[in-house]
Chains A and B, each alone.
Chain A
Amino acid sequence: MNPVRTVRLTFGLDDDRIGKAESPLAALRRRLDGRYPRDPFGLDPHLQDMVSPLFSLVARVEVHGGEHIPARGPALLVSNRGVGLLEPAALGVAVRQACGRRLRIVGTPDMPVLGDAFRSVGGIPAYPSDLAAVLRAGHLAAVPLGPTWLRTGAGTPPLELLLAATGFPVVPVAVVPGGPLGLPLRPWRIVVGPAIVTAGDPDDPLEAAELAEAARSGVRGLISGDTSRAERREA
């Protein structure tokens, strides 16, 4: 009998929930045999499970309000960011810690090699069509607001992307660095707010604008709330 007959569809791995770590030998054998799932967006759950411990080392996190992240079904997390890759990495680690789900981070560069590498660990390009497809498929996605250079507030919301997310729960998230300039002196603080639910008319640009404003003020409120909490603690 041909051995591939016994192979199952997902090979025991889920493209939405994180999997258990495998021994290096078992992981290598799985890679060589091709027994791992892929999703149309390019995510390789097996590879993501292998590299995620490295992200956890680089970005230690402390999650507040993790119960607001849906345990199943689609949702869009909208968060602040500075420059670079640290915020998305910290957010991904926080989501894994809070609810054991995989996060698709919007904003992967649309270019060969590097783009493919980011996609295989959960990135998707910033196309509204791709974001809508991810949400329709029932996954968790994250869209960063425009960068604020000193990580002091919430940046400009990406209207086109939020228009694609109308009808899905939108969860504001504040990502606060552990040290000045994002230096890992203390764990990053990830503060998750309650979901904003919209009526869901994808053809109504006004609704997207209102959603964008609600998301931005939600993130701003979480950042200022976290800052005053930190100041009270220090006092």
Chain B
Amino acid sequence: MGGELGTRVAQVLEERDDVAEIIGVDFVPPRRRLHRSEFHRIDPLQRERLADFVASVAPEAVVHVGVYEPYARLDPRAAQQYTEAATVTALGAAARAGSLRRIVVRSGIEIYGRGRGRPAVPDEHAPVAPTTAFGHSCLQVEAIASAVGRAQHAPVTMVRLAPVVGSHVPSPLGRLLRLPVVPVPALADPAFALVAPEDAARALAGALGTDHSGPLNVVGPGAASPWQAVRLGGRVPFPVLSAGWQVAYRIAELAGAPIPSHVVELLAKGRAADGARAVELLALGSLRSTLEICVELFEWATVTHLRATAAAA
């Protein structure tokens, strides 16, 4: 509940009358104001403490958003470690409590992998064959959630999100695209799709209200390409050939925007998925398009300096 996505999911759930209590756990505090949610700050690596707390709550439904993208807030090793700890401990403890009836987990379209022999726009029936560390993390989360769901006879929805990008979202892709000079593939300009954080939150919260069991792709309509996204933001594209990515990686890291393997893959090979099923099942009629997300990424709210009034003084 402490990340941008988790906080937004809690906000959406707060508006629903059929949700009696919302209790969240994370290792950082929520990023927005929450009114009737209860937040507990527990580090997922404190497995025993987290398990005891979840067991004491005995949740009926779990929306598991604790799937950490490498270099969003944590380095790749820590992201993998936190994802595994949060998933195994929270879902395991919720299952042992005995009242679990519904599971929704955040996953990613990175799970399909990219490369020869894989469809460019996979639907939910496409085989999962991740080719990056984050994709493998998503696969592991889905496998654990499925196993828990089977044991508890609870339906499990895996919400496979396109990269979540927004001007206030910590995301390695967003950070990279906002550098003044952005590395782009020299010989390709593949299409990629994004999803806005508020749409991702709507999808995760909406999945809780259905009895759908299985994966759902949630993808913003349309697509963008690396060269196009860079130019939309008025940045300078820097063409990179295969071996040059190592150099680009080092320079971007020094500039404060390290590039994880799944972002390199997105830039070089593209990333999209067919989200028609989720739109229909979760009634996600007005999703923000990928191009709109790109345009908004480069917008920053103007800082308005307020003068001290006499009353305030």
Q: Does B52 contact A (CB under 8 A)?
A: no
* Cα A31 to Cα B285 with chains together (Å): 30
CB pair A40 B227 closer than 8 Å: no
CB pair A4 B274 closer than 8 Å: no
Q: Which of B43-51, B113-121, B243-251 contacts A (4 or more CB under 8 A)?
A: B113-121
A5 neighbours in B (Cβ, 8 Å): 295, 299
Q: Does A26 contact B (CB under 8 A)?
A: no
CB pair B225 A38 closer than 8 Å: yes
A207 neighbours in B (Cβ, 8 Å): none
* Cα A44 to Cα B226 with chains together (Å): 13
* Cα A39 to Cα B120 with chains together (Å): 11
Smallest beta-carbon distance A49→chain B, Å: 16
**For window 106-165 of chain A, which residues contact chain B by CB distance below 8 Å?**
110-113, 116, 119-120, 124-125, 127, 129-130, 132-134, 136-137
CB pair B228 A39 closer than 8 Å: no
* Cα A4 to Cα B295 with chains together (Å): 7
CB pair A41 B225 closer than 8 Å: no
* Cα A110 to Cα B191 with chains together (Å): 14
Closest to B188 in A: A116
* Cα A204 to Cα B120 with chains together (Å): 25
CB pair A125 B119 closer than 8 Å: yes
**For window 144-169 of chain B, which residues contact chain A by CB distance below 8 Å?**
none
Given A4-B298, A9-B289, A40-B191: A32 in contact with B120 (beta carbons within 8 A): no
CB pair B191 A41 closer than 8 Å: yes
* Cα A160 to Cα B122 with chains together (Å): 16
Closest to A4 in B: B295
A37 neighbours in B (Cβ, 8 Å): 222, 291
Q: Does B125 contact A (CB under 8 A)?
A: yes
Smallest beta-carbon distance B193→chain A, Å: 5
**For window 1-46 of chain A, which residues contact chain B by CB distance below 8 Å?**
2, 4-5, 7, 9-10, 15, 32-42, 44
A33 neighbours in B (Cβ, 8 Å): 231-232
B229 neighbours in A (Cβ, 8 Å): 34
Q: Mark B183-227, 1 if CB is under 8 A from A, else 0.
A: 000011111010000000000000000000000000100111101
The residue from B116, B123, B190, B225 contacting A110, defined by CB atoms under 8 A apart:
B116
CB pair B191 A38 closer than 8 Å: yes
Smallest beta-carbon distance B256→chain A, Å: 22
* Cα A134 to Cα B117 with chains together (Å): 18
Closest to A202 in B: B125
**For window 25-79 of chain A, which residues contact chain B by CB distance below 8 Å?**
32-42, 44
Smallest beta-carbon distance B241→chain A, Å: 11
* Cα A33 to Cα B298 with chains together (Å): 14
Interface of A is mostly: loop
Smallest beta-carbon distance B276→chain A, Å: 5
* Cα A41 to Cα B120 with chains together (Å): 6
Given A9-B292, A33-B231: A133 in contact with B123 (beta carbons within 8 A): yes
B234 neighbours in A (Cβ, 8 Å): 4
Closest to A3 in B: B234
CB pair A2 B222 closer than 8 Å: no
Q: Does B34 contact A (CB under 8 A)?
A: no
Closest to B122 in A: A129
CB pair B122 A34 closer than 8 Å: no
B224 neighbours in A (Cβ, 8 Å): 38
* Cα A7 to Cα B125 with chains together (Å): 35
Smallest beta-carbon distance A173→chain B, Å: 24
CB pair B231 A32 closer than 8 Å: yes
CB pair A34 B231 closer than 8 Å: yes
* Cα A113 to Cα B185 with chains together (Å): 10
* Cα A135 to Cα B78 with chains together (Å): 41
Given A34-B228, A40-B272, A42-B270: A130 in contact with B119 (beta carbons within 8 A): yes
CB pair B187 A4 closer than 8 Å: no
* Cα A111 to Cα B190 with chains together (Å): 12
Smallest beta-carbon distance B237→chain A, Å: 10
* Cα A44 to Cα B188 with chains together (Å): 13
Smallest beta-carbon distance B266→chain A, Å: 13
Closest to A15 in B: B222
A36 neighbours in B (Cβ, 8 Å): 228
> What are 17 of the A-B contact pairs (CB < 8 Å)?
A2-B299, A4-B233, A4-B295, A10-B222, A37-B222, A38-B291, A41-B121, A42-B120, A42-B191, A112-B187, A112-B188, A119-B191, A120-B189, A129-B122, A129-B125, A132-B123, A134-B121
If A34-B232, A129-B119 are given as contacts, then 19 extra A-B residue pairs at C-beta distance below 8 Å, sorted by A number, are A4-B233, A4-B299, A7-B232, A34-B229, A38-B191, A38-B222, A38-B291, A41-B272, A42-B270, A44-B225, A113-B187, A116-B188, A116-B190, A119-B120, A120-B189, A125-B119, A129-B121, A129-B123, A136-B274
